[in-house]
Amino acid sequence: MTATTDKLQPLPCYLNGEFTNLREAKVSVMDRGFIFGDGVYEVVPVYNGKPFRFDEHLARLDRSLAELRMSNPMAKGDWRALVERLVGAYSRHAGTAVADTNQLVYIQITRGVAMRDHVIPVDVEPTVFALANRMALYSPEERARGFACVTADDFRWKKAHVKSTSLVGSVLARQMSADQGAIETVMFRDGMLSEAAASNVWVVKDGKVSGSPRDNLVLEGIRYGLIEQLCREAGVPFELRRIPRDEVLAADELLLSSATKEILPVVTLDGQPVGNGRPGPIYEKLYAGYQQAKQRS
């Protein structure tokens, strides 16, 4: 065991048919996920031991795989059984009951092991990896204060709808906000809102929630459909459209959504207040609805 793996927690994971832990799991240096970032992934939140919007996550996994000309190596029932087993394994690792834990299950599928060549190889077995870990939720105090974001041009590729493991563009974008003590980088392509480095972005103006269209320039977060549903239940108008930068800067509220963030209020953007500089009423409604949706899962 190397010094590097010694630093890893022995978290429960799955690799190519075997359940093991992070210190023991190994992949070939010729795996195309390592060489090319040739793979896709999903992050499934688990609340009180129950996967949240699991079918939607698997549907997006299928869409991403299809874009990369890959087949799903497992059936839906097998994925659910795998996730449930990892959730149980992490609960035992943490010494808690399954129903008392909030977890994240990371799923990754790469094209597999082959000699390095840009051309897609045939008859290669995919590498399938999954990991369970604790999910840290933001505290009520953090949510009451709100969060800071910065802006940048979206310099990533034009297949953002694929949840690809080729994430160096998003890594660089996220680091831009980290360097300034902010939580996210809100990005614009040709003057129009796309998304943040690792989140979707929602603009609230005059009581209406607007987001970027579902297309190849944005990763359609699992919360896309959920936020539309929460808006409908709360009587809040909702639309998807191209949103110019000046509308984002003039928003009454700005929200982020992702598996790990759920819904977060942005109170400053590039050092300037968003709206009145405090979490707003639409955020409060949608966050409350999100908590109710978790209880229904």
Distances (CA, A) of 254 to 2, 72, 204, 264, 267: 44, 36, 6, 9, 7
DSSP letter (8 states) at residue 138: P
Give the other-Cβ count within 10 Å of 182's Cβ. Answer: 21
Residues sharing a CB contact under 8 Å with residue 190, sequence separation 6 or more, in sequence order: none
Contacts 24+ apart (CB under 8 A), 266-275: 266/146, 266/147, 266/148, 266/149, 266/183, 266/184, 266/186, 267/145, 267/146, 267/147, 267/148, 268/146, 268/148, 268/149, 269/148, 269/149, 269/150, 269/151, 269/186, 270/149, 270/150, 270/151, 271/148, 275/251
- Rounded Cα–Cα distance for residues 176 and 164 (Å): 21
Q: SS3 for 258?
A: strand
- Partners of residue 109 on adjacent β-strands: 40, 128
Q: Is 163 a catalytic residue?
A: yes
Cα distance between residue 133 and residue 46, in whole Å: 10
Report the C-alpha gap between 19 and 12 in whole angstroms: 7
Which of the residues 26, 163, 261, 285 is marked catalytic?
163
Q: 169-172: which pairs have CB atoms within 8 A and are 24 or more residues apart?
A: 170/197, 170/198, 171/197
- Angstrom distance (rounded) from CA 171 to CA 128: 23
Catalytic residues: 163
